[in-house]
Amino acid sequence: MSSRAPRKPTPVTTDAPAANDASDAVAPDLGERRLYINRELSLLAFNTRVLDQALDERTPLLERLKFLLIFSRNMDEFFEIRVAGLKGQIALERELPGADGMAPRQVLAEIGTIAHKQIERQYAILNERILPELATHGIRIARRDEWTQKQRQWVRHYFRAEVAPLVTPIGLDPTHPFPLLVNKSLNFIVQLDGVDAFGRDSGLAVVPAPRVLPRLIQMPVDIAGHDDCYVLLSSIIHAHAEELFPGMNVLGCYQFRLTRNADLALDPEDVEDLALALRGELYSRRFGNAVRLEVADNCPKELTAYLLRQFGLAESELYEVNGPVNLARLFSIASKVNYPTLQYKPFVPALPKLLKHADDLFSVIARHDVLLLHPYESFTPVIDLLRQAAKDPQVLAIKQTLYRTGADSEIVDALVDAARAGKEVTAVVELRARFDEESNLSLASRLQQAGAMVIYGVVGIKTHAKLMLIQRREGSELVRYAHMGTGNYHTGNARLYTDYSLLTSDQALCEDVHKLFSQLTGMGKALRMKKLLQAPFTLKKTLLELIARETEHATAGKPAQIIIKVNALTEPKVIRALYKASIAGVRIDLIVRGMCCLRPGVPGVSEHIRVRSVIGRFLEHSRAYWFANAGEPVLYLSSADLMERNLDRRVECAFPIEGRKLQQRIHAALQLYLDDNSGAAELQADGSYRPAARAAGEALRDAQQQLLAKLCDVSA
């Protein structure tokens, strides 16, 4: 484990220029790198905040376990993508510092210090808090030294019947070199003594755990003595390792797991068939360059050193853990449904009054825009609209973008039905949605077989916009209906993520959506939109103009305020514009769930900016941009975060919310997040986060719970 001391926060000087000079200090390029927070370290801070939720005793126990496991899953991706990217820059000698000025080597050193500390803390929380508390409720993971004789016999039978036939132990010698191991697979390094039947005595072997076997096995009640007793596959293999090496003496057996670079490297200029190229890359993802080694903390130093040499890793990239190396596999316990007191109370998503008794969704949407806030309000109307369109003989064409959906989803079912019914169905499928590529290839194939036209978007630019367009003949006219959203067309995520949906027949908006689809499927110059903002063409430019206009209002002495809710804020030009607005006196409230490179609270620069992150039962995923605009608010909902990739290298859209009633509804929800003193943390000038302050005697305010209580039927 790295012994390097944590890097001290970058000092923030307080002798900032006066307000009338400060705008020059941040334009056109800050020149003050201390005003930016490193994006990788900010993302790591978000993951730490997720881990913190595992300690919040206001949260049901199994949900706390989920947060601990989500931290594992997030850290896996962090190493697979972010750490791998930094290592790649170093390997290729392309170490370009970011806006914060930190070079990749500096960032990696800081990541190592923080990650070691937080992963060690994660296992301490698991072993000292979560598992003992689960045991008091009758949920146990039985350790080998706790097995009864009856349990040992059952484990032995399970090993011989289910495990041993599938295991392939690999002795290491000149004819059996170290095997190529799959990314994040469970493996064991085994020390042996003795000579085998062929006279080999290398002393080492590797045992890859069969990937087809569950990592957590529930014991029968009559064996366990109670309902919920589990045993880890790693414990079963440990206990019977000698049976895999007959006649040999097993001196030690230690689990380990290797994390590899899982980013896909496709050069658009060298790809003729994206789907075919992607299938090949998906295979290679399993065997990318090593970035992290996790081993049991009782593994002898000489063995960990041996493994590090095999994978070309430094000691700082070794993580010794006190427990299973593949913690995310414990989700099977966390997702149990028969412990209501240990889980969040179930709820029924609401259905707006407009839709409760509506048999014809087209007639409702023709009269009123329908705004839905998921998961508090049901995603079903979006699915029902598509189903109705698939069956309606008056519907002629359906166009839809698909980013993360799933091949077997109700959305894809409806599109397949529509295509088979003879309607013109066009699906823009983004194959490169990270870690969903295989699923997207399957759904694309399924749609093509049904007769739909499948487009893979624009080469080199991901299609991230969430759009659906339905064209319907009504009398002598063709009428358009559209759905625009901040989240994916994924029914599972719609129960877990907070997102907005707008169902509309607004002529100008629907025309803009039609134009956007035309740009995606055809070729030509960017088309002028009336209402929709589109990346990479008009979205960033317009957002900067809106921030500048708010700055002008403040300079003129008018009330000025900006509220932005996004998943991430890293784009330097946007950050500079917000600094200028703050200097002018604009009150700026940012609700940023994850990465935030803006440094709030710097005297003379960002003292009017507040940044908070809300983590709770649901993943905060909606994006909203609200501008006071001298009493005539401007509000956009969007698929885009404020990141370089979203604004410059993706197809994104932002759609306006124009009616006062709908605007006020969204503003009221944003205010709940700004008032949250339960799951909110506030970003400090030094880059750290502190829990939102709550005065003595002040009532607990939880934005998500307030929205649940207001909109949903929550079971007692």
Residues serving a catalytic function are 464
User: What's the token pair of residue 533?
Assistant: 């903002």
User: What's the token pair of residue 460?
Assistant: 């080199």
Closest C-alpha to 712, from 359, 372, 270, 221: 372
The structure tokens 């719609």 sit at 494
CA 491 – CA 496 distance, rounded (Å): 9
Q: How many other CB atoms are found less than 10 A from the CB of residue 674?
A: 17
103, 97 contact by CB (below 8 A): yes
Q: Burial letters for 99-134: b for 16+ Cβ neighbours within 10 Å, e otherwise?
A: bbebebebbbebbbbbbbebbbbbbebbeebbbeeb
389, 470 contact by CB (below 8 A): yes
User: What's the token pair of residue 381?
Assistant: 């109307």
50, 615 contact by CB (below 8 A): yes
Closest C-alpha to 237, from 213, 201, 204: 213
User: What's the token pair of residue 121?
Assistant: 């803390």
3-class state of residue 292 by DSSP = strand
250, 194 contact by CB (below 8 A): no
Strands 204-208 and 170-171: antiparallel
The structure tokens 């392309």 sit at 94
574, 544 contact by CB (below 8 A): yes
The structure tokens 């991430």 sit at 568
Strands 609-614 and 650-656: unpaired
Closest C-alpha to 313, from 295, 334, 339: 295
For the chain, the farthest-separated pair of C-alpha atoms sits apart, in whole angstroms, at 90
Q: How many other CB atoms are found less than 10 A from the CB of residue 578?
A: 27
DSSP conformation class of 488: -
Closest C-alpha to 141, from 235, 231, 219: 231
701 Cβ contact partners less than 8 Å away, ≥ 6 residues apart: 672, 675, 676, 677, 678
689 Cβ contact partners less than 8 Å away, ≥ 6 residues apart: 45, 49, 613, 681, 682, 683
Closest C-alpha to 131, from 319, 343, 330: 330
383, 491 contact by CB (below 8 A): yes
CA 250 – CA 191 distance, rounded (Å): 6
- Cα three-residue angle 574-544-657, rounded to 5 degrees: 110
> What's the Cα-to-Cα distance from 390 to each of 74, 136, 397, 399, rounded to whole Å?
38, 52, 9, 12
User: What's the token pair of residue 176?
Assistant: 């059996």
| Burial classification of residue 400, based on how many CB atoms lie within 10 Å of its CB (0-12 exposed, 13-18 middle, 19 or more buried) | buried
CA of residue 713 relative to chain centroid, distance: 27
Closest C-alpha to 164, from 263, 240, 77: 240
3-class state of residue 465 by DSSP = coil
Tell me the residue type at 615. Answer: I
CA 365 – CA 125 distance, rounded (Å): 50
